[in-house]
Amino acid sequence: MEYYNYLKSLHLIFVITWFAGLFYIVRLFVYQIEAADKPSPEKEILQKQYKIMTYRLWYIITWPSAVLASIFAYWMLFFTDLGQAWLQMPWMHVKLGFVFALYLYHGKCQQIFNQLQNDQVKYSTNFMRLWNEGATIILFAVVFLVILKSAVNWIYGVAGIFAFSILIMLGFKFYKKIREKKSNH
C-alpha cells in the first residue's frame, strides 16, 4: 500500500502541473492573438516573446507533466491490486472517459500552439477564453468522480461547473463591455 501511495502522490503532482500548463497556455494564446493586432514594432516584439514563453511552458512543463501523470496512472491501474480493483468500478470508466477528453483537449491545444508558432491566427480571443473553460470542466468532473467514487453523483458537480461557466461567460461579457466603454472615452 505504501508503494501505491508514492505512485498516487507522483500522479497527483503531475496532474496538477499538467492542468497548470493547460490553463496558462491558453491564457498565453489569448496574449499572442492580441499581439497580432498591435502595430509594429510592438507586434513583433510581443510575438517573439510569447512564442518563447509558450514554447517553454508547453515543452518543459505541460507535455512532460502529461506524460508523467499518464505513466504513474498506468502504473497504478495495471500494476497494483487496488488499481486492478478500481478498473472494475463504473466510476473509473467514466473518469477514464474524461481523461480521454483531456487528451483530446491537449491535442487541440497542440494544434493551436503549432498554428500560433507559425503566425497563423485562426481563433479569436473570445474563443480562447471560452476554450480555457474546457479544461476546468474536465477537472471538476474528474475531481468529483475520484472523491465521490460514483458514476452518477459526479453529474451534480459537472452541472454546477456548467452553471459556474455560464456565470464566468456572463462576467466576461460584462467586463468586455466595460473595457470597450473605457477605450471609447
Summarize the annotated binding site for heme as residue ranges. 11, 95
Give the Å distances, CA to CA, from 26 to 9, 12, 21, 101, 171. Answer: 26, 21, 9, 17, 18
Continuous H helices in the chain: 2-35, 42-56, 63-79, 81-86, 90-117, 125-148, 154-184
Separation CA 45–CA 37 (nearest Å): 12
Cell 500552439 identifies what position?
113
Binding site residue list: 11, 95
Q: Count the neighbouring beta carbons within 10 Å of the beta carbon of residue 96.
A: 15
